Amino acid sequence: MSLEQEKYMIVKELLSKEVCKITEQYCLFEMLNNFNPDKPTGQVPGTHFKYGDNMTETLLLHAKPKLESVTGLKLVPTYSYHRVYKPGDILPDHQDRPSCEISATVTIGFKYNDKDDNYHWNLHGYVNGEKCYLQCGIGDAVIYKGCELVHGRDRFEVGEYSYQVQVFLHYVDANGPYSDSYKYDGRPAIGVKNALI
């Protein structure tokens, strides 16, 4: 599968299960202690998210060599993001802004109450006009051209106290049109909080 042709590819074990377990617990603690709900006009209203968190910025740098290897691209990191989805959430179909030219969404961890072992809440994308579901286990990533692939998530149909933790790692192609303008998402460096968004 080619990122250039399909606009996405699935990479197994981008992050180890151990790293994911630590990150999952970290994100849950972060939500508990520093709850930051998306605004009513945001993508997923009322759901906890964090831009440029220290843990996910570390993962952004850690994953870069493997992502460069599988995509064949030289990448410049822009920013990271995590979200702890709650029951009933929907991620509306959308395309991303230029800082997300090459993106990876990594399944970090989940708890599905009132569901059997076959249930998995997946990202979907539209390839050649057809909706396809991009299934990833813990540590796996969907790498996609965020500005080109229309993507989203259907309603999170799970019981009370369920959740899914996703980490989003965003880059631009070092040889592409966004490399200078969107490097570090307009910040002085990765890990620095004063973003221009």
The per-residue pLDDT for range 91-105, each reduced to its tens digit, is 999 999 999 999 999
Cα R_g (the chain), whole angstroms: 16
Token pair of 143, please?
């790498």
Which pLDDT does position 195 carry in this prediction? Answer: 52
Which pLDDT does position 124 carry in this prediction? Answer: 93
pTM for the full predicted model: 0.94
Phi, psi (degrees; rounded to nearest 5) at 32: -65, -40
Alpha-carbon span 104 to 82, nearest angstrom: 12
Nearest to 20 by CA among 93, 110, 81: 110
Fill in the amino acid letter for 26: Y
Kind plus residue range of the DSSP H or E element containing 27: helix 17-33
CB-based contact 145:99 (threshold 8 Å): no
Token pair of 32, please?
């508990």
Which pLDDT does position 1 carry in this prediction? Answer: 57
- Edge-to-edge strand order for the sheet containing 151-153? 91-94, 151-153, 123-127, 130-134
Which pLDDT does position 97 carry in this prediction? Answer: 96
Fill in the amino acid letter for 102: I
Residue-wise burial string across 104-125, b where 16 or more C-beta atoms lie within 10 A, e elsewhere: bbbbbbbebeeeeeeeebebbb
Which pLDDT does position 135 carry in this prediction? Answer: 86
pLDDT under 50: residue ranges of the chain: 197
- Edge-to-edge strand order for the sheet containing 102-111? 8-11, 141-144, 102-111, 163-173, 75-85, 48-51
Helix axis angle, 17-33 relative to 54-71, nearest 10°?
A: 150
